[in-house]
Structure formats: structure tokens, C-alpha cells
Amino acid sequence: MGIGVVLLVVVGALLNPPATHAEPNPYGQRSSQTTVVLQRDGSYDVTLVQTQTLVREYQIRFGGAVHDGFRLPDDGSVIPPYLRAAYALTSAELAADQPGPTAVKTGHRWSLTSVGTYPAGDHQAQLSYRVTGASRPTDSGWEVRVRLLDIAYQPGDPVTIQADAGRPATWSWIAWAMPRTAGRAGNATAQR
């Protein structure tokens, strides 16, 4: 009986490969900095700078996605009024050997992403885009709706909203929505 148990253990060890060890988490620190510049025509420009540290070679996805619709305050109509924004890539700065960003509109979702494999170390991407159709004129300026790309904001990542410095803009108020992942984010400022 002892030989049968030993034989069973040996056969079991040969048939079952050794357990594979999980690779360590490749991601180190990450951060983002977002600047929104309101234009006199009610459009706005967004510049997103993301940094990511890798502890080993791995894939990084810079950018994110956003829904293009904005529900307006209830005006008593049966169907709530809605704005549909248009998004357009204006510039991108990435590592020279990495693929450029891809902008895709699917239904009411617009995404702007760049995915590449990077070596261990610190990496950065800067994506800029323009948003039109997300505002309404008012007696005193523009009512502007700002919705940012749904990225993984970290606590303390700054989000700045400002008027175009070259041509002063006025606005009655700004409604902005941080992505779901940004519940912990802080340091949002609006400058006139």
C-alpha cells in the first residue's frame, strides 16, 4: 500500500505542472494634470497630461472616453433638453517610438486613446482636444458644460478651468462632471 501511495504522488506531480507565479504589478506611480480653456465662442480646449511609471516593460493606455451628451436643467418639456457635444483631437505628444492616438466615435461615446508597450521607467503623454456644442449663450455670456475623459484620476490631480487669456471670456456658470473614477480627486479650480 505504501508503494501505491508513493506512485500516485509521483504520477500526480508529473501530470500537474508547477504552479505559475503571478508577475508583479507593472505599474508604479501615475498622475494627471488637466487644463480646460474656455473660448469666447462657447467651445473649450482640454489638455490632458498623464504620467505613468512602470517597474517593468508593460503596456500603457493613455487617454480615455467620454459620453457626448449633456442633460440640461428641466425646462418643463416632456423630453428633457439635451446638448450633443462634438470632440476633435487637436494635438498629441507621445514617445517617438509609440503609436499615435486614436479618436473613435461610437454612438454617443467618444474615445481618445494611445496604447503602447513601454520599457520600465517614467513615461508621459499629452493629449489635447477641442469640444464644441457643449454650451448655450446666455444674457451674460455662456453656460458651458464640461465633461472630462474617464481616466483614473488620483487624489490631488489638478483640474484647472480658465478663460482664454488672449480674449477674456465671461460665463454665467460652468457645470462640469468628473468621471466616476474621480470621486477622490481634488484640486479643481476655476479661474476668470
Classify residue 5: in a domain, yes or no.
Answer: no
Residue-wise pLDDT for 141-192, tens only, equals: 778 888 889 998 888 899 888 887 654 444 444 555 555 444 333 334 444 4
Residue 118 DSSP code: E
* C-alpha cell belonging to residue 132: 464644441
In this structure, is residue 16 part of a structural domain? no
Residue 43 lies in a domain: yes
Question: For residue 11, is it within any domain?
Answer: no
Tell me which residue range forms the domain holding 167. Answer: 24-191
What is the C-alpha R_g of the chain? 24
Whole-structure pTM value: 0.75
pLDDT at 139 over 50: yes
CB atoms within 10 A of CB 136: 15
Instruction: Let me know if residue 122 belongs to a domain.
Output: yes
Looking at the structure of the chain, the number of domains it has is 1
CA distances from 65 to 113, 117, 148 (A): 8, 20, 8
pLDDT digits over 8-35, tens only? 555 555 555 556 667 788 999 999 999 9
- Give the pLDDT confidence score for residue 182 in this predicted structure: 41
Is residue 146 in some structural domain?
Answer: yes
Strand 58-67, strand 44-54: pairing? unpaired
What CA–CA distance (Å, rounded) separates 133 from 75? Answer: 19
pLDDT tens per residue, range 98-120: 889 999 999 889 999 999 999 99
Q: Cβ of 28: how many Cβ atoms within 10 Å?
A: 14
